[in-house]
Structure 1
Amino acid sequence: MIKPIIGILGNTYKTTPAKFSSSKREYVNSDYVEAVLNNGGMPIAVPSVSMLDDPESALSFCDGILVPGGEDVSPWYYGEEPSPGIQTIRPEIDEAWMAAGRYALEKKIPMLGICKGIQFLNVLCGGTLYQDLYLQREGSILHMQSLERSYLFHHVDIRKDTYLAGILGEGKHAVNSMHHQAVRELGRNLTVSAVAPDGTVEAIESSDGQIVAVQWHPEGLIHTAPEMNKLFADLVRRSEAYHNR
């Protein structure tokens, strides 16, 4: 049986100058690749330059899409100027992902968003973000842990009767946390499916089942919190159904 193809949206970095100078590279984190592969999908890195140039050709072979973590989303996409708390913005990456996201929405390709991915998908659907939780949301707990992504850091509460509850179960779950931005106003056709103890949105989903997105990094927890594999297995199932539609 052919595995469903999961396109992982790519990012770029520039290597440190050395003997043969530096070069720009397209990449996806290996944790995403492992998580998709171990749960029945075939992961494919989708270069940002190809998404920007021709999103249809870049994604037409994908049965599902994983929108990974990354730098901050430009506030221009939700009608704001940058606040003092905003960090690195990559306009070329945002524009490439926006082109890919618009195509995916139009074609109803199943998507799983992670960290920046939840923020990006909310903005793609017309929502807004807290540019910095600690400056804009009073009473926030710490959402930026140190050291390993495999560490569990705080809890989230998954709401009853949500799609996410069907995947992981309702109630309290321990997660990792590496972000300073978060969903503020929800985008179109999206609902909140999990929150942190301080009320910060930790997961969203779309009413049609196309989008599932979490603020934590489940790809870093597939060994220390094996239940997180279910998020990737669900993406693979949704992608298989999309392929066979």
Structure 2
Amino acid sequence: MPVKPVIAVTLNAQELPGLVHWRQMFAGLQQYGAVALGVDCGCGPQRMSQLLAHVDGLLISGGGDIDPALYGGDRRDPEIGGVNVVRDGNEVAAFESAWRRRIPTLAICRGAQLVNAVRGGTLFADLARDRPSATQHRRTEEELLTVAHQVTVAADTRLATWLNHRGAMDVNSQHHQGIRDLAPGFVATALSDDGLVEAFEAPDNPVTAIQWHPEIDWSNSEMSRRLLRGFIESCEQSENSDHRQLLTTSC
């Protein structure tokens, strides 16, 4: 019997009471063939490099804003909230370890913003103020089960392969920040209808980042199910999977 891929899911446990659908993330990963390992990154320094040696994938989840210092922003900006520098540090360490080991990584919402900043990109600190448009990017947690707007997925990308789709598709949304300058080495793979980068990936490293939340609405969205399955299948083929081979041999 094959051993399921283990995916480390970073989060801040203190935020969970306000994230009304957070359980769906763990249920979705399990539903489509993975073991989800929750890692509380908000409570103190973690040995992320040691942890990443024993997993097949990394999911950097959503949450509060990242430290503006990571992208040259203003820490005094009144529109920025929920910053947890301990979580930032742990997730940066996790991402860098995964990058070195070429562990498949899915960065969602806050995670996408953190990954972009770590590799040298910048953010809009508040879309409503800094890049106003008619597209509704920031909605309530409860509304994550409903469609917010469309994105257009680029052909010949990892994202399009996972989705088996290119062109327009509906997504949910719950973010007030966004990608201003995409970091070197990344390519945009989906744009919202107002031209904002909604997804990007590294062509030479298994890193995929998205601004919407398929981990939440997979139960009523075929595209979200395809995306989760695509990510999990990439974790099954992870170059970091020697530990699974040992588990299989010992069973």
- Whether TM exceeds 0.5 here: the answer is yes
Take 1:11 and 1:112, find their aligned partners in 2: how far apart are those partners? 17
Residue number in structure 2 paired with 1:25: none
Q: Whose helix fraction is larger, Structure 1's or Structure 2's? A: 2
Residue number in structure 2 paired with 1:11: 12
Q: Which amino acid in 2 is paired with 1:150? A: L
Question: Equivalences for 1:5-154 in 2 at 5 Å?
Answer: 5-13=6-14, 29-48=22-41, 52-82=45-75, 83-139=77-133, 141-146=135-140, 147-154=142-149
Q: Is the 8 A contact 1:133 1:140 kept in 2?
A: no
Residue number in structure 2 paired with 1:23: none
Unaligned runs of 5+ residues in structure 2 are: 243-251
* Secondary structure of 2:233 counterpart: helix
Unaligned runs of 5+ residues in structure 1 are: 17-27
* Secondary structure of 1:13 counterpart: helix
Take 2:115 and 2:49, find their aligned partners in 1: how far apart are those partners? 18
* Secondary structure of 1:81 counterpart: coil
* Secondary structure of 1:188 counterpart: coil
Take 1:15 and 1:195, find their aligned partners in 2: how far apart are those partners? 29
Compute the RMSD of aligned alpha carbons.
2.1
After superposition, the Cα gap between the structure-2 partners of 1:112 and 1:42, relative to the gap in structure 1 and judged at 3 Å, is same
Q: Is the 8 A contact 1:67 1:113 kept in 2?
A: yes
After superposition, the Cα gap between the structure-2 partners of 1:4 and 1:155, relative to the gap in structure 1 and judged at 3 Å, is same
After superposition, the Cα gap between the structure-2 partners of 1:224 and 1:49, relative to the gap in structure 1 and judged at 3 Å, is closer
**TM-score, scaled relative to structure 1:** 0.88
| Greater Cα offset, 135-144 or 71-80 | 135-144
Q: Which amino acid in 2 is paired with 1:129? A: L
**TM-score, scaled relative to structure 2:** 0.86
Q: Are 1:211 and 2:207 an aligned pair?
A: yes
* Secondary structure of 1:230 counterpart: helix
Q: How many residues align?
A: 234
